[in-house]
Amino acid sequence: MAWLATDKIGRETISPGRPEFDGSEWYYEEETSIEGEYGNIGYSIDLPDGTIEKILGRKLTYEESPVEIK
């Protein structure tokens, strides 16, 4: 499963989990441990403009919740 979202400047992203909105953009992070060191890593990937419209058949705005695709 993946999640699609669009931020305030129109950047389209896809992420493996439901992203959160920080006031200007959607982001997805997971806590990770590498050799005993813990931290958060972002897993959202930017998509070319128009990709979400091709997948969903409609535009997605930043005011809308992210959409899960299966």
Q: What is the mean pLDDT of the chain?
A: 90
Rounded distance between C-alpha atoms, residue 16 and residue 19, angstroms: 9
Q: Tell me which residues of the chain have a pLDDT lower than 50.
A: none
- Share of residues in the chain with pLDDT > 70 (%): 100
pLDDT of 58 reads: 95
pTM of the model: 0.83
Which domain range does residue 8 map to?
2-69
pLDDT of 33 reads: 82
pLDDT of 50 reads: 96
> Residue with structure tokens 């931020």?
7
Helix (H, G, I), strand (E, B) or coil at 65: coil
Domain count, the chain: 1
pLDDT of 11 reads: 93
Can you spell out the DSSP letters for 22-60? -SS-EE-EEEEEETTEEEEEE--EEE-TTHHHHHHSS--
